[in-house]
Amino acid sequence: MTGSAAALLARYREALTDPGAATPAAALLDEALARCGCGRGADRHARRSVTTAVFDVHASPADADCAEHLTVARYITLFFPVEDGPPEEAQALADRIRVAGSGSDTVDGTGYGGSEPTRQ
């Protein structure tokens, strides 16, 4: 975990009471900070990383290892905007998926465009 991620997560210690939540939260935040292009700020990414990690603890199998926890957390990060976010975020995700499926957007040769969720 980077020093900036540790500082951002420090204020959320009370939410990260489960020992299994801190590692995915730190990994998600490091990934978000490294790839961020949204301009919404590091605090927002920290909040989302903590929320996702708390849900991950309950969504992952009881015997999940660190890599499995991180995989579940990444899925949660991707689908939170669809489930609980504003309708425009869900629409934007749907549009990106449609473009990816059509093969018409090939930023960086991935076929998935250059959006922040795609990069993450």
Burial of 56 (0-12, 13-18, 19+ CB in 10 A): buried
Residues 6+ apart with CB under 8 A from 37: 116, 119
- Give the pLDDT of the chain (120 residues) as one tens digit per residue: 667 788 899 999 888 888 778 888 999 999 888 887 777 789 989 998 999 999 998 889 989 998 998 999 988 887 777 777 778 877 777 776 666 554 444 444 444 555 555 555
Say what the pLDDT of residue 35 is. 81
Alpha-carbon gap, residue 25 to 5, rounded angstroms:
9
Give the model confidence (pLDDT) of 62-82 as tens digits: 899 989 989 999 888 877 777
User: Domain extents for the chain?
Assistant: 1-78, 86-120
